[in-house]
Chain A
């Protein structure tokens, strides 16, 4: 087998730490928190929909509709936009209630660079941490060192270089950023097309040109070479930010997403349970227009939304992180 660069880096980065054998494993031969276990968890979510929820009741609606996981947060992005203020990790009580309420995986958001919020979420038992630009960044220079955690992380990206920098820091799953809380899918489309096109260009390069490519991408050359060889990211690539309808979800799947995050689009719509079911079914049958017609009927009102082009630069979450 080809050497796994990420495992090597993980090993290097975890010298002096205990992440490799952390966790309540009773058997010394068991290894928890490995890159394979973290990335593998995301592989199991493929073809599925992860839904933002703010209460245990919403979490149950999401699970009933067939969500593969829920993202527990205090306010959906549309409300963070509307209400302003500093957006932080959610109340542990609320996250615990959601963990109790459903049998599917529970994710939660930490601020960019806020490794203590991530430590709290790991101790709470969440299954994935989203180091998210939707919350107010805590560190303008450094993202969380995600290798030092047993819990896996998902991070947002607008392009390949950003995705690879997050993977180099230990992200086990990438999602497009889109423009959260707008109900407008255009940025998610741009981010997905950009990442795919940049991977396509890398794959066509002769090996000696990968060094300069790595410099331009501002990403480690070993990771750049791995992507060029694989023809895809070494982790799962989901889409997020502005998905509001079943057709939006199917669009992102046809553009090559492995799965879909839906934030405000479900619980800011007229009939959340029905819309949630429709988006799940559209994500599975994304290539079947007959199914898409059927599930798109009679959904009631979609979230009203905001045109991204009308957002002032300071209100754009996708520019947070680097």
Chain B
């Protein structure tokens, strides 16, 4: 098999769904729990899950600083939901001590759409995704409260940005891995390919 080798941070969350979507998008998915595994990937997905849990485990298993360094060095990363929170500069309505990786110049609001009874599905137009609208699943989802000039907004719900890109970093408040539509993952695989770290 060819295609870039894309890791999925597998400390907690919907890892299998991202693996399926990455395979469908032409990448080779591998689970990442250890430093050596992180060093061997061309790009990384931060899955949906609980951002406080994943953040704490990143610290415990000594992946937080290496991941921050990898992002600074230009590793392409795609985060969905909890993954979007982890890529933010700061978080509102989170826990004050919640560890973040950072990289995207934005502040996100955690559980911005409400609790689980407020979770929803909706069709969204996403910049850079050809064809019909993306069917987006929002589960206790965040939105972007503030974004710097370098952050490109790819999609909004009402006024709030819910899909963003800054260089090789991509984030969605929704879960493209849950719908069987691999176009968001294909967009990320293209980012990985063009970032030149493909081997």
Please give the distance in Å from B21's CB to the nearest CB on chain A. 13
A34 and B121 contact, CB distance less than 8 A: yes
* B residues near A47, Cβ cutoff 8 Å: 10-13, 15, 49
A151 (CB) vs chain B CBs: closest residue: B117
Instruction: Kindly state whether residue A289 has any CB partner on chain B within 8 Å.
Output: no
Contact with A along B41-85 (1 / 0, CB 8 A): 000000011101100110011000000000000000000011000
A26-B158, A41-B140, A44-B139 are known contacts. Are A68 and B123 too (CB-CB below 8 A)?
A: no
Interface window among B107-115, B147-155, B182-190, B191-199:
B107-115
B175 and A40 contact, CB distance less than 8 A: yes
* B residues near A285, Cβ cutoff 8 Å: 33, 61
Give the contacts of B1-53 with A (CB-CB under 8 A).
10-17, 33, 48-50, 52-53
A236 (CB) vs chain B CBs: closest residue: B14
| Chain A residues within 8 Å of chain B by Cβ, number | 43
Interface window among A122-130, A184-192, A214-222:
A122-130
Please give the distance in Å from B88's CB to the nearest CB on chain A. 15
A24 (CB) vs chain B CBs: closest residue: B118
Please give the distance in Å from A24's CB to the nearest CB on chain B. 6
* A residues near B121, Cβ cutoff 8 Å: 30-31, 34, 36-37
B122 and A43 contact, CB distance less than 8 A: no
Instruction: Kindly state whether residue A13 has any CB partner on chain B within 8 Å.
Output: no
A43 and B60 contact, CB distance less than 8 A: no
Q: Which of A32, A45, A280 touches B119 (beta carbons < 8 Å)?
A: A32
**Considering the chains assembled together, what is the distance between the CA atoms of A83 and B29 in angstroms?**
51
Main secondary structure on A side of the interface with B: loop
* A residues near B115, Cβ cutoff 8 Å: 105, 125, 127
B94 and A103 contact, CB distance less than 8 A: yes
* A residues near B82, Cβ cutoff 8 Å: 44
Instruction: Kindly state whether residue A12 has any CB partner on chain B within 8 Å.
Output: no
Contact with B along A90-125 (1 / 0, CB 8 A): 000000000000011100000000000000001001
Instruction: Kindly state whether residue A256 has any CB partner on chain B within 8 Å.
Output: no
Instruction: Kindly state whether residue A183 has any CB partner on chain B within 8 Å.
Output: no
* A residues near B56, Cβ cutoff 8 Å: 65-66, 280
A66-B53, A280-B57, A281-B57 are known contacts. Are A43 and B14 too (CB-CB below 8 A)?
A: yes
* A residues near B10, Cβ cutoff 8 Å: 47
Q: Which of A27, A44, A69, A125 touches B117 (beta carbons < 8 Å)?
A: A125
Contact with A along B119-145 (1 / 0, CB 8 A): 111110000000000000111100000
**Considering the chains assembled together, what is the distance between the CA atoms of A305 and B149 in angstroms?**
58
* A residues near B53, Cβ cutoff 8 Å: 48, 66-68, 104, 280
Give the contacts of B151-167 with A (CB-CB under 8 A).
157-158
Please give the distance in Å from A295's CB to the nearest CB on chain B. 9
**Considering the chains assembled together, what is the distance between the CA atoms of A132 and B147 in angstroms?**
44
**Considering the chains assembled together, what is the distance between the CA atoms of A152 and B116 in angstroms?**
8
B178 and A43 contact, CB distance less than 8 A: yes
A30 (CB) vs chain B CBs: closest residue: B120
A44 and B116 contact, CB distance less than 8 A: no
A37-B137, A66-B53 are known contacts. Are A46 and B13 too (CB-CB below 8 A)?
A: yes
A31-B120, A37-B121, A281-B57 are known contacts. Are A44 and B95 too (CB-CB below 8 A)?
A: no
**Considering the chains assembled together, what is the distance between the CA atoms of A37 and B175 in angstroms?**
10
**Considering the chains assembled together, what is the distance between the CA atoms of A26 and B122 in angstroms?**
12
A66 and B52 contact, CB distance less than 8 A: yes
* B residues near A41, Cβ cutoff 8 Å: 116, 119, 139-140
B94 (CB) vs chain A CBs: closest residue: A103
Give the contacts of A13-59 with B (CB-CB under 8 A).
23-27, 29-34, 36-37, 40-41, 43-48
A-B residue pairs, 9 tightest by C-beta = A127-B116, A47-B12, A30-B120, A43-B14, A66-B56, A68-B50, A32-B120, A37-B119, A66-B53
A-B contact pairs, 24 of them (CB 8 A): A25-B120, A27-B122, A31-B122, A32-B117, A32-B120, A33-B117, A36-B121, A37-B139, A40-B178, A43-B14, A43-B17, A44-B13, A44-B50, A44-B139, A45-B50, A47-B10, A63-B52, A66-B52, A68-B50, A104-B50, A105-B50, A127-B115, A280-B57, A285-B33
Q: Using a CB–CB distance below 8 Å, which chain A residues touch chain B? A: 1, 23-27, 29-34, 36-37, 40-41, 43-48, 63, 65-69, 103-105, 122, 125, 127-128, 150-152, 277, 280-281, 284-285
Q: A43-B14, A44-B14, A280-B57 are in contact. List 14 more A-B contacts (CB 8 A).
A: A1-B180, A30-B120, A36-B137, A37-B120, A40-B175, A43-B178, A48-B12, A48-B13, A63-B95, A68-B12, A69-B50, A103-B95, A151-B116, A284-B33
